[in-house]
Amino acid sequence: MRSIWIFLSSVAAIVAIGGTVYLISRPEAELALSGNGELRAMSPGRRIPVAPAGNPLLAASELQLDMWIPIYPIPCGEIVFGAADERARHFSFCVREIRNRVFFHSNLELSDEDVLDPRVRAHWRATVRPR
């Protein structure tokens, strides 16, 4: 009887680990910016998005801001745009992380000034903050 329980629990563990690996490695539809600044789905094999010229943070939708501005483990939106205190503990990390995420998803390299633009702060407050 004990060997049956060991066998069943081993099978359950293997299925759980396999399911977790499958869910993590599953290709998801990627999001990219179209020429007019709207979000569109990309095919999983394609990695070259079309992005508008300039600062994509100025015209980003709520979904894009959620994708580009991390909230876990550090609420970067509140640090960079809410308090906007350059002496905050994770301020430089958050600016760098936002720049990296925008580059990863839109293939546009932003400067620190682009991220810290007061228009981006106002757009973030109008789009994300009212929750």
83 part of a folded domain: yes
* pLDDT on residue 37: 53
Name the residue range of residue 72's domain: 29-127
Q: Domain for residue 23, yes or no?
A: no
If one counts the domains in the chain, the total is 1
Per-residue pLDDT at 50: 45
User: Three-state SS for 40?
Assistant: strand
Would 3 be classed as within a structural domain? Answer: no
Could you give the CA distance from residue 69 to residue 108 in angstroms, rounded to a whole number?
Answer: 15
Helix (H) or strand (E) holding 31: strand 30-33
| Residue 2 belongs to some domain of the structure | no
pLDDT in tens, the chain (131 residues): 888 888 888 888 888 787 776 666 655 444 555 555 555 555 555 544 444 457 898 888 888 998 998 887 788 888 898 887 788 888 999 999 999 999 998 888 999 999 999 999 999 888 876 55
| Structural domain includes residue 78 | yes
Does some domain include residue 11? Answer: no
* Structure-token match 């903050």, residue found: 129
- Omega before 118 cis (within 30°)? no
What local confidence, expressed as pLDDT, does residue 102 receive?
92
Give CA–CA dist 109/75, Å, rounded: 22
Does 50 map to a domain?
A: yes
With respect to residue 8, please indicate whether it lies within any of the assigned structural domains.
no
